[in-house]
């Protein structure tokens, strides 16, 4: 029997306020709404805080400032600030599909031994970067796996 879980969405960001807005928009459109959203601002100098707070009427969102620059500091601050049974990370330059969070939660509901899950990555700008090349080379794609 499936048991209810709480899910925290975590976003680490630095000086990408407008991209973050798009990410948060995609989180508001989830078929399975998050129980909380934790945005860790990793020493931004733009209007990141204002963007996060503008979502307070649509999401249970928390703004966390991490002054030490670096992904490890920011992710650790995010995990410390999260209260969910499941923590779902999404980058500040990503847009989640409508069922992203539902698909993240499902394996945890079905099997208590699941510790982590991942998903498919697709790119808006094909041929635009090293991450895409690394992913295609090492993880395979739906267009042609290794």
pLDDT in tens, 55-105: 999 999 999 999 999 999 999 999 999 999 999 999 999 999 999 999 999
**What is the structure's pLDDT at 141?**
53
Handedness of CA 23, 24, 28, 31 (dihedral sign): positive
Average pLDDT on 103-118 reads 93
Q: Token digits for 130?
A: 């090293």
More confident residue, 25 or 121: 25
Question: Euclidean distance between the first and final Cα of the chain, in Å?
Answer: 37
Taking the domains of the chain in order of start, what are their residue ranges? 7-115
Contacts of 128 (CB under 8 A, 6+ apart): none
Chain-centroid distance of CA 73 in Å reads 16
The string of DSSP codes covering 7-68 is: EEEEEEESS-HHHHHHHHHHHHT-SS--SEEEEEE-S--SSHHHHHHTTTTTS-EEEEE--S
Average pLDDT on 20-43 reads 97
**pLDDT 10s digits, 115-146:** 999 877 766 655 556 556 666 676 555 444 33
Q: What is the CATH number of domain 7-115?
A: 3.90.550.10
Average pLDDT on 21-26 reads 97
**What is the structure's pLDDT at 85?**
96
Pair 21, 51: CB distance under 8 Å? yes
**What is the structure's pLDDT at 2?**
54
Q: Which has the closest alpha carbon to 7: 74, 130, 107?
A: 107
**What is the structure's pLDDT at 81?**
97
């Amino acid at each position: 029997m499936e048991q209810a879980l709480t899910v925290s969405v975590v976003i680490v960001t630095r000086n990408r306020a407008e991209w973050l807005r798009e990410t948060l928009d995609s989180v508001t459109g989830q078929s399975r709404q998050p129980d909380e959203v934790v945005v860790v601002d990793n020493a931004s100098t733009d209007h990141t805080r204002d963007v996060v707070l503008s979502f307070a009427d649509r999401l249970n969102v928390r703004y966390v400032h991490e002054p030490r620059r670096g992904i490890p500091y920011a992710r650790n601050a995010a995990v410390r600030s999260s209260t969910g049974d499941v923590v779902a990370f999404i980058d500040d330059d990503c847009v989640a599909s409508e069922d992203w969070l539902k698909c993240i939660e499902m394996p945890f509901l079905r099997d208590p031994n699941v510790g982590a899950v991942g998903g498919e990555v697709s790119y808006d700008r094909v041929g635009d970067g090293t991450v895409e090349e690394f992913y295609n080379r090492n993880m395979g794609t739906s267009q042609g796996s290794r």
